[in-house]
Amino acid sequence: MIEDIIRDYLPGDASWAEGLREAMNYSVLAGGKRVRPTLMLETYRLFGGSGRVIEPFMAAIEMIHSYSLVHDDLPAIDNDELRRGHPTTWKKFGEATGVLAGDALLTFAFETAAKAFEMDADPAAVGRAIGVLAQKAGIFGMCGGEYVDTAVTGKAVSEEQLYYIYSLKTGALLECSMMIGAILAGASDADIETCRRIGLDLGLAFQIRDDILDVISTDEELGKPVGSDARNEKTTYVTIHGLDAAQEEVARLSSEARGLLGQLDGDAGFFGDFIKKLETRRN
Amino acid sequence: MIEDIIRDYLPGDASWAEGLREAMNYSVLAGGKRVRPTLMLETYRLFGGSGRVIEPFMAAIEMIHSYSLVHDDLPAIDNDELRRGHPTTWKKFGEATGVLAGDALLTFAFETAAKAFEMDADPAAVGRAIGVLAQKAGIFGMCGGEYVDTAVTGKAVSEEQLYYIYSLKTGALLECSMMIGAILAGASDADIETCRRIGLDLGLAFQIRDDILDVISTDEELGKPVGSDARNEKTTYVTIHGLDAAQEEVARLSSEARGLLGQLDGDAGFFGDFIKKLETRRN
């Protein structure tokens, strides 16, 4: 169902720019766990949301996530040629199209989110959701985290910087997903803030578990080469604190998220399962 | 005054990502004629707009214009090292930061536009303006034009393709500037559509005058090397139709824009002067 929503909101016929549309769709439809739209939808439901106004935002957050991978893979940044076993967008379509497909996806995310104004929804809530989407994707969110991650390559990284990178690069879009679900369902400001903190905890736990898997998993299980952090001499939570302390931190963050969920009314069953899987995931 | 508005809306302190903020601000404050925010403000005034809700959109359209230049200059696209006599963003800050500063500017444009929701304005009009901003900047606007312009490099270009490229690459943001001014001032749908057509005419005339200047101007007058279209074997309106027919087309488009302006109520004096300057500009 989430796949269908994402697919439905992809751009239609683009005349002479069909090649750009092809590259955009390739990037979005390359697979992935759709974690962000799932969290957004479940948060919306948790607060009693039942309309379709959430759908353009679910598609938009996945477009933003996809564009970030497309630009991350560029030769100027990570220079990756494979993602999930397939050529990366720039490798398949050329570097210029890689840049432009990312730009067009990011822009189309906002065009898509703005379609919510044509739906039966409170325009003030839709406007607030668009503001949060932009804030958490930009310099005070994901882009800021990406930048610092790139800027510290090959340098000593302090724990404070590492926390900053994880919070913004991974945490911000999860915060945003849960906040938008809550905003569009009409949650109170206090509950929106609780959702932001849960999203941040989940993002940090997710990232630290990623660091662990890069050490303990196998190429087959992970679907990509393990040991890349060591090869790139990258500072991670594991290189600073070791594997055991890292898994303890995942457990601590998960427990904190569970505590925050307990402060919210409604059936948080989905989130309990989600956190359990997150703590022990192998890929 | 327009410079002050743009400057006021640039991002504040960015903690560890200060280097990204520096690159963003460098790109936006590198100068330029501020054509788009000027057209937006004057259209807003033409329809009797007098509030401050136009200001975040004026800053946003200039951020989008700036990001498009930053990404256009990248080695993967035009590989330009100088713009207006200064190093381009990627040349000054590195290629990774060039990509990320463009991404962050594009995202911050929407964060900035969304600040209009906190102002005393009709949220439906603000929402519609954000939708137009995204549409005209994306695959069905500027990004689409950029893509086709890049894709046809070194190939024969039909007049239909050339018109498509000019309409989207240059026309779309001018359409958008005038449409947003009209939307936020509460203009009718018919008047918003007239503004779109005027913006398109101005964009096409602007681009064809650019083609002409690349042949008849001097390096000093233009502030950049002339003859670049010939060196790059680029198809332009001038290479297809010649200089005289090109200037006649500028005059025809200008005349059409004047006719459309005549259909609008209000004092269009600014636009008359603007078109006169556009027709005969030397840089």
What does the alpha-carbon distance between residue B37 and residue B43 come to, in Å, rounded to a whole number?
10
A contacts of B138 (beta carbons < 8 Å):
104, 107-108, 111
Looking at the structure of chain A, the number of domains it has is: 1
Q: Which of A14, A111, A146 sits opposite B100 (nearest CB)?
A: A146
Q: Note whether B107 contacts A106, CB cutoff 8 Å.
A: yes
Q: Note whether B134 contacts A146, CB cutoff 8 Å.
A: no
Per-residue pLDDT tens for A72-124?
999 999 999 988 889 999 999 999 999 999 999 999 999 999 999 999 899 99
pLDDT of residue A220: 82
Per-residue pLDDT tens for B232-243?
888 999 999 999
Paired tokens of A127 = 């406007």
- Hey, which bits of B157-244 come out as E strands? none
Shortest CA distance to A96 belongs to which of B154, B36, B132, B93? B154
pLDDT of residue A182: 98
What does the alpha-carbon distance between residue B250 and residue B201 come to, in Å, rounded to a whole number?
9
Chain A contact for B117 (CB, 8 A cutoff)? yes
Per-residue pLDDT tens for B128-178?
999 999 999 999 999 999 999 999 988 889 999 999 999 999 999 999 999
Q: Which residue in chain A has the smallest CA separation from B121?
A: A124
Per-residue pLDDT tens for B172-204?
999 999 999 999 999 999 999 999 999 999 999
What does the alpha-carbon distance between residue A105 and residue A252 come to, in Å, rounded to a whole number?
36
Q: Note whether A96 contacts B134, CB cutoff 8 Å.
A: no
The pLDDT-based confidence of B42 (bands split at 50, 70, 90) is: very high
Residue A189 class from Cβ within 10 Å (0-12 exposed, 13-18 middle, 19+ buried)? exposed
The lowest-confidence range among A138-147, A218-227, B246-255, B270-279 is A218-227
Q: Note whether A103 contacts B20, CB cutoff 8 Å.
A: no
- β-bridge partners, A83: A86
Q: Note whether B127 contacts A126, CB cutoff 8 Å.
A: yes
Chain B contact for A102 (CB, 8 A cutoff)? yes
Q: Note whether A100 contacts B150, CB cutoff 8 Å.
A: yes
A contacts of B111 (beta carbons < 8 Å):
131, 134-135, 138
Residues 6+ apart with CB under 8 A from A128: A183, B117
pLDDT of residue B210: 93
**Alpha carbon separation from A214 to A163, A282, B96, B124 (Å, rounded):** 18, 10, 24, 47
Q: Note whether A140 contacts B164, CB cutoff 8 Å.
A: no
Chain B contact for A179 (CB, 8 A cutoff)? no
Residue A218 has pLDDT above 90, yes or no: no
Residues 6+ apart with CB under 8 A from B190: none
Per-residue pLDDT tens for B214-265?
999 888 887 777 888 888 888 999 999 999 999 999 999 999 999 999 999 9
Mutate to test the interface with B, among A107, A160, A165, A167 (most CBs of B within 10 A): A107
Paired tokens of B6 = 């743009």
B contacts of A24 (beta carbons < 8 Å):
139
Q: Which residue in chain A has the smallest CA separation from B76?
A: A96
Chain B contact for A158 (CB, 8 A cutoff)? no
**Strand, coil or helix: A90:** helix
- Find the CATH number of the domain harbouring A67: 1.10.600.10
Q: Which residue has the tokens 């050329």?
A: A94
What does the alpha-carbon distance between residue B252 and residue B231 come to, in Å, rounded to a whole number?
28
Mutate to test the interface with B, among A147, A162, A163 (most CBs of B within 10 A): A147
Shortest CA distance to A268 belongs to which of A6, A39, A50, A5? A39
Chain A contact for B111 (CB, 8 A cutoff)? yes
pLDDT of residue B218: 86
Residue A266 has pLDDT above 90, yes or no: no
Per-residue pLDDT tens for B61-101?
999 999 999 999 999 999 999 888 899 999 999 999 999 99
B contacts of A73 (beta carbons < 8 Å):
none
Give A100→chain B minimum CA distance, Å: 7
The mean per-residue pLDDT over the stretch A198-202 comes to 98
pLDDT of residue B156: 87
Chain B contact for A176 (CB, 8 A cutoff)? no
Residue A224 has pLDDT above 80, yes or no: no
Percent of chain B residues past pLDDT 70, beyond the cut: 100
DSSP 8-class letter at A167: I
Residue A232's domain comprises 2-280
The pLDDT-based confidence of B1 (bands split at 50, 70, 90) is: very high
Chain B contact for A63 (CB, 8 A cutoff)? no
pLDDT of residue A11: 97
- How is B97-133 classified by DSSP, letter by letter? HHHHHHHHHHHHHHHHHHGGGGSSS-HHHHHHHHHHH
H/E element holding B208?
helix B189-216
What does the alpha-carbon distance between residue B58 and residue A4 come to, in Å, rounded to a whole number?
36
pLDDT of residue B188: 97
H/E element holding A249?
helix A243-262
Q: Note whether B127 contacts A117, CB cutoff 8 Å.
A: yes
B contacts of A71 (beta carbons < 8 Å):
99-100, 103
Residue A67 has pLDDT above 90, yes or no: yes
Paired tokens of B165 = 């490229």
What does the alpha-carbon distance between residue A215 and residue A244 come to, in Å, rounded to a whole number?
12
Residues 6+ apart with CB under 8 A from A5: A37, A55, A58, A59
Residues 220-249 of B with CB under 8 A from A: none
Q: Note whether A144 contacts B104, CB cutoff 8 Å.
A: yes
What does the alpha-carbon distance between residue A29 and residue A44 come to, in Å, rounded to a whole number?
24
pTM value > 0.80: yes
pLDDT of residue A223: 74
pLDDT of residue A230: 82
What values do phi and psi take at B119, rounded to 5?
A: -100, 170
A contacts of B96 (beta carbons < 8 Å):
76-77, 150
Q: Note whether B97 contacts A137, CB cutoff 8 Å.
A: no
**Alpha carbon separation from B89 to A215, A264, B107 (Å, rounded):** 37, 46, 17
Per-residue pLDDT tens for A117-158?
999 899 999 999 999 999 999 999 999 999 999 999 888 899
Chain A contact for B147 (CB, 8 A cutoff)? yes
Q: Note whether B144 contacts A114, CB cutoff 8 Å.
A: no
Give B189→chain A minimum CA distance, Å: 15
Paired tokens of B1 = 């005054």
Paired tokens of A86 = 């397939």
Task: Check if the beta carbon of residue A146 is closer than 8 Å to that of residue B98.
Answer: no
Inter-chain contacts counted by CB atoms under 8 A, chains A and B: 184
Percent of chain A residues past pLDDT 70, beyond the cut: 100
Shortest CA distance to B249 belongs to which of B201, B180, B197, B185? B201
Chain B contact for A87 (CB, 8 A cutoff)? no
Chain B contact for A143 (CB, 8 A cutoff)? yes
